[in-house]
Structure 1
Amino acid sequence: MTAPDQCPAAVPGAAPPAGPVAVLVNPVAGRGRHAGLLPVVLDRLGAAGRGVRLLTPASPAEALAQCRAAVADGVAALVTVGGDGTVHLALQAVAGTPTAFGPVPAGTGNDFAVQTGFPADPLAAVEVVASALAAGRTTPVDLARMTGPDGAERWYGAVLAAGFDAIVNERANRMRWPRGPRRYDLAILVELARLRPRRYRLSLDGVSHELDAVLVAVGNCASYGGGMRICPDADPTDGLLDVVLAGRVGRGTLMRIKPRVYRGTHVEHPLVSSHRARTVELAADGIVGYADGERALPLPLTVTAVPGAVRLLR
């Protein structure tokens, strides 16, 4: 069993470097219900004694480029106002660097922020971030690093979905009608009608497995999708990944299992198994993984737990 990667900046209580704070806002996060939050964020961060730089991208690609540029310029911290998708984008810039990170949960799904100890209420989370910034306090937390066979890398904080949920997301992203949540609901119905177990090849810390499965999740944190505890025992500070697999289940069984995911009791079903590893190699034909709810990398890929890969402002 090989030792997990260790980020050199992962020092408990380490202070953020000197410099301003960059702020990335997703204006449509949470369907806009926190539209008035930004002035509060800027005011509280400014009161912490740092200059504040508001990033103003016009697209996700620009947002990623601006986050990376801010980190390269030496900002003390990057703060996001949005959901898991905004967090996922920011993690690509701050992972493995001394730059501190503060997620203010304002999206539909806020799994990474909540699972790593931030209040679900965005105003309370702003206070936590600002207080930590003023005190020069950070807390190291693990991330998962995905690597494709071509060397492409992607970080995530919460969960990688590589089974039925990923297939549904992929279909929903291809659909042009209907708009909004109904598109996802329709994608679920279509994929349920087409449901079949896929053949997966896994290696867990070098131990190979081959199985047919419907649900596959690799969790750094316990939940995804706004509180669905797919990997209920995952701990983002233990240096390990939790792998949850649902085997050859049919449509009826899957629909009975899925509601139990919110409580995390699905893992008690005899066709569901849980594993823990530092490194997970995952392969299957025709599957694109979704990490933190975002389209990530196609399988095959390798997922590695990286202890202390991000320093949180809390």
Structure 2
Amino acid sequence: MRDKLIAIVGPTGVGKTKLSIIAAKHFGGEVINGDASQVYRGLDIGTAKITPHEAEGVPHHLIDIRDPEEEYTVADFQRDARLAVREISSRGKLPILVGGTGFYVKAALFDYRFSSIGANQAYRREMEAFVEQEGGEALHERLKAVDPDSAVRIHPHNVVRVMRALEVYRETGRPFSGQQLAVPGAPIFDAVLVGLTMERSLLYERINQRVDQMMTDGLLDEVQSLYKRGLRESKALQAIGYKEFFPYFEGSISLDQAIDRLKQNSRRYAKRQFTWFRRQMNIHWFEVDDSISGFSKVAGDVLTFAEKNLKR
């Protein structure tokens, strides 16, 4: 018998965290983080990481499990999330996977398979020397020449990921993008997939307000502290909410411009998230508005839908 699970997805700022707590309390569940950046310690305000007060005593998994200096891949997440599902289920609790990083959520739920090619330390040292001399953009151009699909998905500043893609190509002669294979079919768990959406202009306004609140809560100090630790090129700090401030620290843009850039990138990301989930998974969508009563109604509808489908 497959483990039962609820997955709550949707764009940033739509209310997934709030809904997850309601669902966890209703079903006796525990939450598994499905956001790629919340696995890192110290990335709190910029990732809208749940606080102990907001969690209301609901156990959370896969939050603060890596330092930002460390590499953490989607394959690592797939392994850890599936272990968490089994561990939570073994105690008679319901796993609730919550997040907006679509590739992570899909990898956990479906039979995604990843390259098992080991590290080539000599080649990595060679690439590190190349980056030191020529820069990360030049290394990304190398990737673009042999694996354009991976080059589109991997940001030039994510040097570790670029190096891994080149390493796999060197070792196998085949592009890294072709070795991350999704096997079609149903989720490997007995999963109820629900998504939250919101009218576009309302969501964008909420995102703008959320960024303003993050600034009030100390986002600039959080990013600057990580930046001063020399983490500019780390995978963790390529997240939206962090990279936008690097040009400000380096004197090339004003703080207001950095904030505007963060708002714009967050809005664009929300649009991409919604489009990705629509295309990639069969999700039952619920539209929310910005009122307390409206959210309460949607939460009730989600619980009813989940309860019905969990019993099937």
TM-score (norm 1): 0.26
Greater helix content: 2
TM-score (norm 2): 0.26
Greater CA radius of gyration, 1 or 2? 2
